[in-house]
């Protein structure tokens, strides 16, 4: 925020987002019936979005095991969601520290932190209601997250936020529209999609401003960090331990998912929108681009 002073257009966007936050914000502890029984036999994710869909492992599973796998895949994504949101809240608060508290822009940043606080509570409740473990980030991802949340400024900060938000959003938009899925995950997705639409608008405009303010060295550094963030996010979506819930050794499940053309297509589909946007701002190039490819996102 310090690098790009509040202009009238930036303030106008924040003003609109604040008005929208007032109209449509949800308290998941009140809005969701957490004790409602689950629908027997209903999937938690459209089956074609499961990381093993179409593989020999998938063919060898019973219908019940397939449903269980999607439940654990959702728990893994929700665990990743909490992780991303904790990083993002700290990045926003760090920026707020230098900002003008009377600006609408700074006030919207705080409002977004408030949204993310409720989201992380919601994802925690979701994991608990599904009866799944919390699938935590590995040691390297945990360290990268700690580094990002402590140091990130400039284009890479908002770009990393956008990748995490838009990739999850692609899955959630599909889930909320699919009436065959568990009502609980549809409701969680609907609340998240509505509030994230504002965050995506905020981050998209901000990353474009940060790019306009960045020099060539800052841009090169940003491309590399953005590629590494994209790699972590894609890698973190399905935790290998989730496969153990259906009796598949984690390493075997992960290797099958990586080789699965359906899953690779799903990853590219989930990242298509954010990739186009960041590429149009020249934020995907060089060694950073190779990381996007290794992540299976392009």
Which positions lie near Fe ion, rule CB under 5 A? Answer: 116, 119, 165, 196, 199
The three-state secondary structure class of 15 is helix
Q: How far is the CB of 169 from Fe ion (least distance, A)?
A: 9
Q: Quick one: 73 or 195, whose CB is closer to Fe ion? A: 195
From CA 129, how far away is CA 34, in angstroms rounded?
7
d(CA 154, CA 210): 5
With respect to Fe ion, which residue has the nearer C-beta, 199 or 223?
A: 199
**Toward Fe ion, which CB reaches closer, 149 or 199?**
199
The least CB distance from residue 84 to Fe ion, in Å, is: 8
Rg over alpha carbons for the chain, rounded to the nearest Å, is 19
State the residue for tokens 């790699």.
231
Tell me whether residue 52 or residue 226 sits nearer to Fe ion (CB atom). Answer: 226
Spell out a b/e string for 84-110, using b for 16 or more CB atoms within 10 Å of the CB, else e. Answer: bbebbbbbbebbbeebeeebbbbbbbe
User: Which tokens go with 276?
Assistant: 């186009």
To Fe ion, the closest distance from the beta carbon of 118 in angstroms equals 8
What HEC string does 116-170 produce?
A: HHHHHHHHHHHHHHHCCCCCCCCHHHHHHHHHHHHHCCHHHHHHHHHHHHHHHHH
Nearer to Fe ion, 167 or 248 (CB): 167
Nearest to Fe ion of 17, 246 (CB atom): 17
Task: Compare residues 119 and 254 and give the one whose CB is closer to Fe ion.
Answer: 119
In the complex, what is the shortest distance from the CB of residue 249 to Fe ion, in angstroms, rounded to a whole number? 32
DSSP codes of every residue in 153-221:
-HHHHHHHHHHHHHHHHHHHHHHHH-TTS-HHHHHHHHHHHHHHHHHHHHHHHHHHHHHHH--HHHHHH
- CB of 114: closest distance to Fe ion in angstroms? 11
The nearest distance, CB 155 to Fe ion, in angstroms, is 18
Report the nearest approach of Fe ion to the CB of residue 192 (Å): 6
């Amino acid at each position: 925020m310090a690098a790009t002073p509040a202009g009238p257009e930036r303030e106008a966007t924040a003003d609109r987002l604040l008005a929208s936050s007032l109209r449509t914000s949800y308290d998941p502890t009140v809005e969701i019936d957490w004790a409602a029984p689950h629908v027997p036999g209903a999937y938690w994710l459209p089956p074609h979005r499961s990381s093993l869909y179409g593989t020999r492992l998938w063919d060898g599973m019973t219908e019940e095991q397939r449903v269980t796998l999607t439940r654990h895949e959702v728990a893994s994504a929700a665990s990743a969601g909490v992780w991303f949101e904790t990083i993002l809240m700290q990045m926003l608060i760090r920026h707020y520290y230098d900002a003008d508290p009377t600006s609408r822009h700074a006030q919207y940043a705080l409002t977004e932190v408030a949204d993310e606080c409720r989201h992380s509570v919601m994802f925690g409740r979701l994991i608990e209601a599904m009866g799944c473990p919390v699938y935590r980030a590995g040691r390297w991802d945990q360290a990268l997250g700690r580094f990002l949340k402590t140091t990130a400024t400039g284009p890479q900060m908002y770009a990393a936020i956008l990748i995490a938000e838009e990739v999850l959003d692609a899955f959630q938009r599909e889930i909320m529209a699919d009436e065959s899925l568990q009502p609980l995950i549809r409701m969680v997705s609907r609340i998240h999609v509505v509030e994230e639409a504002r965050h995506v608008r905020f981050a998209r405009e901000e990353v474009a401003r940060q790019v306009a303010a960045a020099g060539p060295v800052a841009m090169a550094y940003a491309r590399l960090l953005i590629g590494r963030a994209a790699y972590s996010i894609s890698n973190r979506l399905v935790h290998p331990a989730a496969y153990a819930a259906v009796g598949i050794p984690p390493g075997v499940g992960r290797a099958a998912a990586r080789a699965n053309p359906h899953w690779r297509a799903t990853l590219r589909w989930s990242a298509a929108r954010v990739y186009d946007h960041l590429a149009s701002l020249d934020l995907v190039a060089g060694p950073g681009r190779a990381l996007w490819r290794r992540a299976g996102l392009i």
